[in-house]
Amino acid sequence: MSTELTHKSGYVAIVGKPNAGKSTLMNQILGTKLSIATHKAQTTRHQIVGIHSEENAQVIFLDTPGIINPKYELQKAMMRFVEKAEKEADVILFIVESDESNIPDYAFEQLKHLRKPVLLVINKIDTESQEHVEKLKEDLNRKFKFSETVFVSALEGIGIQGLMESIINTLKPGPPFYPKDELSEHPLRFFASELIREQLFLQFHEELPYSATVEVIQYEEREDLDYINAEVIVNRKSQKGMIIGKGGRAIKKLGTESRKSIEEFVDRKVFLDLHVKVREKWRENENMVRNLGYR
Ligand SMILES: Nc1nc2c(ncn2[C@@H]2O[C@H](COP(=O)(O)OP(=O)(O)OP(=O)(O)O)[C@@H](O)[C@H]2O)c(=O)[nH]1
Ligand SMILES: [Mg+2]
């Protein structure tokens, strides 16, 4: 058989509760930090597309926000991303932490409605005994008919190759959808705003990172460097003050660390022009949520 006939391709949605390790898993598979990942829950807000290509297969991953019970407009928009990803996908990876004990029933209900192959991925096996994760596998397989169960540590890269084999086995024959050297369909400005948002999560406490968003006003690939003009948008004046900090120290650090991580991502010099703006209640306001790119 020629390789064209045996080439496989398809969309794989990565879903699960906040902090399960969805973004870390996708980054590990792609070998690059495409999706920001932090120790805080609800880091991912958009659907992040990552493309993994091999000679005979192309797998397009959809990293999604964690499944939650939505309260705000932003969270409702986040859940629509999860539903959309599940609908678009050919295969679903349902990822759980190895110490998970409380998966809400509505998550299983949602999976049942989809009638698609769902692989159970038990993550963070570096933190639990084998006995414990085997028991979790049994418990979860009683609740839903998973097509397979795979154990991984996304952080340490354990079990990733086996997972890829399972995924590719589940996919149907098909041509590649993207050029084989492409990693994502998002423009650079999107990654820039995400990397700044990651620094917000790392440098500010409590609700501040959750009530902020980042908009890249201008992204210019100049000859000598990438010029980026970006705005951090917050709900209240007091939050603006916190982001700027005493004598501008906080925003300076935010800018420097963001610039470094963008430089690492694009692998060239970056000039980052960073400002803060107040837009009252952007998070609760559905129009604003849409304007900022959430549907
Ligand atoms: N020990 C250990 N930690 C992990 C593993 N995978 C992910 N983590 C950590 O778990 C935390 C959450 O990881 P993320 O990848 O951001 O999780 P997520 O599911 O994308 O989270 P949201 O986007 O907030 O829904 C981070 O601190 C990761 O470093 C793993 O295999 N082992
Ligand atoms: Mg994530």
The answer, yes or no, to whether any atom of ligand 1 lies below 6 A from the CB of 154, is: yes
Residue nearest to atom 23 of ligand 1 (CA): 44
| 169 membership: H or E segment, kind and range | helix 160-170
Q: Which percentage of the chain shows pLDDT scores above 90?
A: 56
- Cα–Cα dist 154/222, whole Å: 36
- Portions of the chain given CATH number 3.30.300.20: 188-291
Q: What is the structure's pLDDT at 5?
A: 60
The class level of CATH for 3-170 reads alpha beta
Residue 39 scores a pLDDT above 60: yes
Residue 293 scores a pLDDT above 80: no
Distance of CA 28 to the CA centre of its chain: 12
- DSSP code of residue 173: B
User: For the segment 205-230, what is each residue's pLDDT rounded down to a tens digit?
Assistant: 878 998 899 999 898 888 999 999 99
Mean pLDDT computed over every residue of the chain: 88
Q: What is the structure's pLDDT at 25?
A: 96
Using DSSP, state whether 153 is helix, strand or coil. Answer: strand
- Cα–Cα dist 111/117, whole Å: 9
Residue 115: band (very low, low, confident or very high) from pLDDT cuts 50, 70, 90: confident
Length of the chain: 295
Q: List residues, by chain if needed, whose CB lies under 5 Å from ion ligand 2.
A: 22-23, 43-44
Residue nearest to atom 16 of ligand 1 (CA): 37
264: its two tokens: 């690492």
User: For the segment 71-81, what is each residue's pLDDT rounded down to a tens digit?
Assistant: 777 777 777 77
Residue nearest to atom 26 of ligand 1 (CA): 39
Q: Tokens 């409605």 belong to which residue?
A: 113
The answer, yes or no, to whether any atom of ligand 1 lies below 6 A from the CB of 129, is: no
- State the distance from the centre of ligand 1 to the C-alpha of 43, rounded, in angstroms: 10
Q: Which fold has domain 188-291?
A: GMP Synthetase; Chain A, domain 3 (3.30.300)
- Portions of the chain given CATH number 3.40.50.300: 3-170
